[in-house]
Amino acid sequence: MLTRPIPATGETLPVIGLGTWQAFDVALREAERAPLRAVMRALASGGGQVIDSSPMYGRAEETVGDLLAELGQPERRFLATKVWTTGRDAGIRQMETSFRRLRTSRMDLMQIHNLVDWRTHAATLAGWKAEGRVRYVGVTHYHAGAHAELARVVADGGFDFVQVNYSIGEPEAQDTVLPAAAATGTAVLVNRPFGQGDLLRRVRGRPLPGWAAEIGCTSWSAFLLKWIVGHPAVTCVIPGTGNAAHMAEDLAAGRGTLPDATMRARMATLVRDR
C-alpha cells in the first residue's frame, strides 16, 4: 500500500482507508455485523489503517468499537471521528461519548464537523492534544458551498487535518481547499470519492478503457480512487462500504502506479463524458 506523510509529524498513512457512514449504522445482530467484520479484516489485510466515523452516523462508532475489540491489533488502526454540536460542554460530552463507543482512551484524530462552532471546539481540542488525549485535530466539510470558508480556516493554520469532498464529479476542492492544505502543511482526508455512488452508476456496465492498465486499474472504483490519490495534496481517501469485496477493490487503488496530471485529465474527461 502506498503511503503519504502527515505533514505535521511525518507519520505516514496508507492512502486508502474506510468511511463508516450508513454502512456501519447497524443493529447488534450478528447477521448485520458479520459483513462489516469482513470489511475491517479486508482493510487490515490490505494494508489500510484509517477508519473514519462520527457520532451523527447512528450506531457506526459503537459498531466500529465493538468490532475492533474483537479483531484486536489496535496499533494497526488510525481512528478518526468528529464533534458536531454547539457549546463547549456539549462538545465535551459528545466527544467523551465517542471515546467510550470507540473503546479508546486516545483518539488519533478528532475533527470539527462542518465547521460547527469550530472556534469553541478548537480551544477544547488544543488542550486535549497537549494532554495526549487526541493526537491530531482537524476540520471537515462535505459540500462545495463551504469550501471557501473551509480553505480560509485551513489557511489560518492550527489544524493538522482537513477532510473534504473531492472526486471527478466534485473537483472544486482542488481550487480552494487543497492549495490551502498544501501551503500550510495540512493533511487531507477525502470523503464522497464516488459522489455518493453517482460516479459508479455513471460507468456501471461499461468496460474500463484499455489504457487504464497503464496505472494498474482493474475496476472502476480503483480508477476513480486513483484519480483522487494522484493529487499530491491528498493524504488518504476514505470510501465507505459494507462489502468486503468492494473494500478489496478500493484498496487496490493504493498500489502501483498513480496517474500524472496528463493521465488525470484524460480520466476525468472520460468519466464526465459518460
Residue 7 lies in a domain: no
Give the angle 133-44-189 at the CA atoms, nearest 5°: 55
Question: Which residue's entry shows cell 473514519?
Answer: 52
Is residue 9 a contact partner of residue 78, using CB atoms and an 8 Å limit? Answer: no
Residue 209 lies in a domain: yes
| Residue 195 three-state SS | coil
Instruction: Note the pLDDT of residue 145.
Output: 95
Residue 122 lies in a domain: yes
Residue 3 lies in a domain: no
Residue 168 lies in a domain: yes
Residue 1 lies in a domain: no
Rounded Cα–Cα distance for residues 208 and 225 (Å): 14
Instruction: Note the pLDDT of residue 72.
Output: 81
Question: Which residue's entry shows cell 473531492?
Answer: 166
Q: Average pLDDT across each block of 10 residues of the chain; the chain has 274 residues. List them in order.
A: 98 98 89 94 96 94 94 84 97 98 96 97 98 98 96 96 98 98 98 94 94 96 98 98 96 97 97 84
For residue 266, the domain's CATH number is 3.20.20.100
Instruction: Note the pLDDT of residue 75.
Output: 67
Residue 6 lies in a domain: no
Going through the chain in order, the beta strands assigned E by DSSP cover 3-5, 12-14, 18-19, 50-52, 78-83, 107-112, 134-140, 161-165, 187-191, 236-237
Strands 12-14 and 3-5: antiparallel
> Got the DSSP string for 200-230?
HHHHTTPPPPGGGGGGT--SHHHHHHHHHHT
Instruction: Note the pLDDT of residue 274.
Output: 73
Residue 51 lies in a domain: yes
- Looking at the structure of the chain, the number of domains it has is 1
Strands 187-191 and 161-165: parallel
82 lies in which domain range?
A: 12-272
Rounded Cα–Cα distance for residues 264 and 250 (Å): 18
